[in-house]
Amino acid sequence: MSGSTVADYLLDRLAELGAEHVFGVPGDFTLGFLDHVDAHPALEWVGTANELGAGYAADGYARLRGVGVVSLTFGVGELSAINAIAGAYAEHVPLLMLVGAPATATQAAGRPTHHSMGDGDFGHTLRMATEVTVAQAALTAENATAEIDRVLAAIVARGQPGYLSLPIDVAEAPAPRPAAPLALQPHPSDPDALARFTAAARALLDGAPAPVVLADILVQRAGAEAQLHALLEHGGLRYSSLLWGRRVIDESGAGFLGTYVGAASEPEVREAVEGAPRLITAGVQFTDLISGFFSQHLDEARRIDLLPHRAVVAGTTFEHVELGDALEALARVIPAADAPPTPTAAAPTPAPTTDGPLTQAALWDAVGGALRPGDLVVADQGTSFYGLGPHHLPHDALFFGQPLWASIGYTLPALLGAALAAPQRRPVLLIGDGAAQLTIQELGTLLRRRIPALVVVVNNDGYTVERAIHGRDKAYNDIAPWRWTQLPAALGAAPGQAIAVRAQTTTELVAALEQADAHRDRLTLVEAVTDPFDVPPLLVAVARAAAAANARR
């Protein structure tokens, strides 16, 4: 092989961070770089049908792997995907947006080049990216290795996206292979602050009943899941999560109280969390859709809040206390339990099998009952996300959605990326018809990559989540009537590769889910038909809160 290049340096670094796949759509400013991906022993190219799909897939991948990479062409490609980057920024997902740019000389000439805005200014998109990334660099042959390291280190440190512009000539410029591991800035706790935090926590907890723990997504983002699990087991504590961070706790465990959604919670869950004599929140960021529009009522005086880099005890803040360290400290403060807690939360029992039309309630009962330990479950931000909310997930199931950025259609490509990141898990996608129409082309990519997903499309004739908020009968909440079961074949399923079933009753749905379970080597698409105005109870509560919040002037 010829000498090592900037492209190779970058790819080595990405492999070092744990990436094994690069997502994207090729363009003439990226084709040379893709030859280097092709040649790299540790990396594989995953071409998607469009750029937004690539961005979402890289996001789903990063949520499991800790890093995702999307390679796009200048202008058209990057802007088509920038909504995905913004979502990763909002939801704390570490992602590299790598943009193949025109040659340095082309940019310097300033002429109206395709994929540019024709005004000689090649900096528009990098400036736009500063709003949704934590570090950016326009690479040159001279600065490339240092700037690559700076941007990648920032992505890791902040757990949010970064942006690199790689002109085609710079990709081919000579560069060494990395000589040493990427220098990451550790975030150590301040020992003094940690000691003061520990003392304050001890004072609050001593003599009180065992605390309840409310954990959420930032525990995972901060890499503190092991410490959380150790604390819960050590103390035999009861716990809950919000809908965003279901993955950080075990919903099959004895201590699980159910999911907390502020005023939209089930009454027993609300009472257990809000009425707890002592409450530890770990990695919680309350957003409107997971808190019943900020309807949480958690008494500060009884509360310890652990955030990624600081902790708060009954209102007193301790900066530079890392989340993992704080959890470990609490495990030393809280007495060891003799036994796990008595189970208090019973998962809803599956609905009886009936032959009446399928309802949302029966749909989610059946889907919840069909999930298995270890499943990778991704639910779009509509009836799917809320429908599954009250159902307790099996042990080691990994669930995610996108409740803050809440970009409908996100989950179909995100499942693609997540499935490639965790091929040992069964990928399960729960999505509405309106949402699936946004990104349907990546169903073809799932088939092309032979990913044996279970895809449940809720066909309820439009944007039911919007109908619940406003415009119940309005035409603007209608969508084109697709024939969902024809899509796997149309989008390229090989003979025998896919199963597609339309379920209009609970019996049909249960049979379809059993068929999927019996053919785990195939992709199964289940079209679950429900009434346009039928919504899961949790969504009713949240939509009511949304309407109230929007109406406030």
Among 3, 110, 117, 373, binds its own copies (CB under 8 A): 117
DSSP β-bridge partners for residue 72? 99
Q: Which is nearer to its own copies, 59 or 328 (CB)?
A: 59
User: Maximum Cα–Cα distance for the chain, whole Å?
Assistant: 74
- Rounded CA-CA distance 284/221 in Å is 11
Which three-class secondary structure state does DSSP give residue 376? strand
Please report, as residue ranges, which positions from 36 to 55 form the binding site for its own copies (by CB under 8 A): 37-38, 45, 47, 49-52
Q: Which stretch binds its own copies (CB under 8 A): 127-135, 148-156, 300-308, 421-429?
A: 127-135
Does 552 interact with its own copies (rule: CB under 8 A)? Answer: yes
Give yes or no for residue 548 binding its own copies (CB under 8 A). Answer: no
Residues 6+ apart with CB under 8 A from 291: 242, 261, 262
Mask for 182-211, x = binds its own copies (CB under 8 A): ------------------------------
Task: Spell out the residues 6+ positions from residue 483 whose beta carbon is closer than 8 angstroms to its own.
Answer: none
Token pair recorded at residue 257: 């109280």
> What is d(CA 50, CA 412) in angstroms, rounded to the nearest whole number?
13
Least separation in angstroms between residue 416's CB and its own copies is 12
CB of 6 to its own copies, least distance (A): 13
157 is a site residue for its own copies (CB under 8 A): no
Count of residues near its own copies by CB under 8 A:
98
**Selected binder of its own copies within 19, 27, 306, 393 (CB under 8 A):** 27
CB atoms within 10 A of CB 150: 16
Q: Which residues, numbered 64-83, are part of the site for its own copies (CB under 8 A)? A: 75-76, 79-80, 82-83
**Contact between 335 and 207 (Cβ < 8 Å):** no
Going residue by residue from 490 to 529, which x/- string records binding to its own copies, judged by CB under 8 A?
xxx-------------------------------------
Of 16, 233, 461, 466, which lies in the binding site for its own copies, with binding defined by CB under 8 A? 466
The DSSP string of 212-248 is EEEE-THHHHTT-HHHHHHHHHHHT-EEEE-STTGGG
Q: How many residues does the chain have?
A: 553
Q: Which stretch binds its own copies (CB under 8 A): 123-131, 151-159, 178-186, 268-276?
A: 123-131
Q: How many beta carbons lie within 10 A of that of residue 141, not counting itself?
A: 17
Which of residues 133 and 189 has its CB atom nearest to its own copies in the complex?
133
Residue 478 touches its own copies, criterion: CB under 8 A: yes
Query: What's the closest the beta carbon of residue 262 comes to its own copies, in angstroms?
Result: 13
Q: Which of residues 379-438 bind its own copies (CB under 8 A)?
A: 381, 403-409, 437-438
Min dist. Cβ of residue 383 to its own copies (A): 14
Residue 51 contacts by C-beta under 8 Å, 6 or more apart in sequence?
24, 25, 70, 72, 76, 77, 78, 80, 81
Cβ nearer to its own copies, comparing 76 with 195: 76
259 contacts its own copies (rule: CB under 8 A) = no
Site string for its own copies, 436-455 (x = CB under 8 A): -xxxxx--xx-xx-------
Q: Which of residues 207-226 bind its own copies (CB under 8 A)?
A: none
Chosen residue from 146, 206, 353, 476 binding its own copies by CB under 8 A: 476
Q: Which residues does residue 505 pair with via DSSP β-bridges, in sequence order?
A: 357
Q: Does 142 bind its own copies (CB under 8 A)?
A: no
Q: How far is the CB of 179 from its own copies (least distance, A)?
A: 26
Could you say whether residue 127 binds its own copies (CB under 8 A)? Answer: yes
Tell me the sheet residues that pair with 306.
Answer: 282, 311
Task: Report the run of H or E that residue 303 belongs to, with start and end.
Answer: strand 303-307
Which of 333/443 has CB closer to its own copies? 443
The phi-psi region of residue 396 (left if phi > 0; otherwise alpha if psi is between -120 and 50; otherwise beta) is: left
Quick one: which segment of 105-113, 224-232, 306-314, 421-429 binds its own copies (CB under 8 A)? 105-113
Q: Which whole-number Å values give the CA distances from 42 to 11, 17, 107, 437, in the listed order?
A: 9, 11, 32, 34
- Residues with Cβ within 8 Å of 539's Cβ and at least 6 positions away in sequence, in order, are 382, 383, 386, 387, 465, 468
Min separation Cβ 553 and its own copies, Å: 5
